[in-house]
Amino acid sequence: MNELFECDATELAAHIASGAISAKDMLKASLARSRRINPALDAIVHEQPEVAEKLCDETPADAPLSGVPTLLKDLGAEAIAFPSHNGSRLYRDTVYKYDSSIYTRMRAAGLIPFARTTSPELGIGPTTEAGVYGKPTRNPWNTDHTTGGSSGGSGAAVAAGIVPLAHGSDGGGSVRIPASCCGLVGFKPTRARLPDGPGVGEGWAGMAIDGFLTRSVRDTALMMDLCHGADLGAPYHAPPLKSGYRAAMKTPPIGLRIAVLDTDFLGNPIDAECREAVYKVAGLLKGLGHEVISWQTTIAKEVREMMLAWTKIVASGTELSVRYKKAIAELKPEDVDGVTYGAVQLGQTVSGADYLQSINTVHSFGRRMAALFQDFDVLLTPTLAEPPAKIGRYKPDNRNFMDYRNGPDGVFSYSPYTAVFNASGQPAISLPMHWAPGNLPVGVHFAAAFGEDEMLMGLAADLEEAAPWHPKQLELIQQLH
């Protein structure tokens, strides 16, 4: 049985389809592994074993991932059968009256959700330490460190081998940051590639999008092929795909011009392990026949302006989410985590004109990035400016939201790369290609021009074949058997 937890979703689906194990037996095994491992991680909440068993009976045997157990982030992915806290005491045990499009597409793929995974309150942190859960979510590679956020519970569960893939979402790096911290693949597609409906028109002015935490490029490509496309009433949609994500894996791009940035976008130095990861991958790319060039940032001013606008938009979105549950005038500091309270206070200072100006700033930045990517095909950076932070360093108790995000040791200095591509809407992916001392994963980040998802997926597949990371992932999973 233990070897099944070492499989990615594609391989596990094949075992279930062959009759080597039934969907219900696999579900029971995943639940048992979760109950044994999760107390040390605090990554999984809202178990629904009876619901999951019923889903096993309802799932067609010929669905691509029929019977494969999975988890839903405790934020978004609204589903009637799966209550959610949204990482917040205000939203504790929220019961939905509808199924979201991303949930119905995951179910059509054959996946069997059985619980939710922890998130920072309303998704606004790079660490998963929300007060509603009582404990921080810990990194299975090294439990003194964070899993990242906001899809941190999903990252921990997939890395620990509880499920082969899990749902996440990404509004400023919330899939890619946990992928980096937990040694996984995390892909943020082009804006509007995945559905947001029916409850949401767009998240955070179009900067937020759903996604998945996986251990392999092929699982990410499969999930994207199965779930992409506008849903009913979508306000806009991404450019059409040429052939699909899995097809792109079979024809990796050749002769790309790849720019390498070994500082942050402001020109500040980064951790030596992150630089080493980038240099190592740059050498690998040269060996694969790509042109690799050193690039010095030319957009520091634009990035600063964009991050200030991003912060105001997220603060406004957080205020709105809180307002759905409690009148802002009645909100007390103890009702929410400190960071959330600070975001609400900042949101109240943002006028309608300020909000529109912030959106204009973000869209102007997207145009600047589009022009920049005429000079190269891919930008290579680390995913984070340093290895996974210690638990507590970004504990959500700072009530100055602008300082929390943009201060001297704020979120932006720790994660300077990911939110840039939420703002521009461009596709980006974090791959697990380096480990630092202390067994800490270090993700390497690749971004491409708007709409170039397939090229990026083909490149990721080529890198996985050239420098496989699955053996390293197995070390942790086997250790936890």
Active-site residue set: 73, 150, 174
**Identity of the amino acid at 439:** N
Specify the DSSP class assigned to residue 335. Answer: G
Query: Given its phi and psi angles, is residue 26 left (phi above 0), alpha (psi -120 to 50 degrees) or beta?
Result: alpha
Runs of H (alpha helix) within 20-151: 23-41, 49-58, 101-108
Q: Using an 8 Å Cβ cutoff, are 362 and 416 in contact?
A: no
CA of 404: how far to CAs of 156, 204, 238, 288, in Å?
24, 18, 32, 40
Q: Using an 8 Å Cβ cutoff, are 342 and 398 in contact?
A: yes
The distance of Cα 42 from the centroid of its chain, to the nearest Å, equals 18
CA dihedral 386→390→392→398, nearest 10 degrees, is -10
Exposure pattern of 221-245 as b/e (b: 16+ CB <10 Å)? Answer: bbbbbbbbbbbeebeeebeebeebb
Q: Using an 8 Å Cβ cutoff, are 320 and 101 in contact?
A: no
166 sits in which H/E element: strand 165-170
Q: Using an 8 Å Cβ cutoff, are 455 and 448 in contact?
A: yes
Q: Look up tokens 């029916």; give the residue.
A: 198
236-243: Cβ within 8 A, 24+ apart: 236/192, 237/192, 238/189, 238/190, 238/191, 238/192, 238/193, 238/451, 238/453, 239/190, 239/450, 239/451, 241/453, 241/454, 242/454, 243/454
* Integer Cα distance of 479 and 22 in angstroms: 25
CB neighbours (10 Å) of residue 307?
25
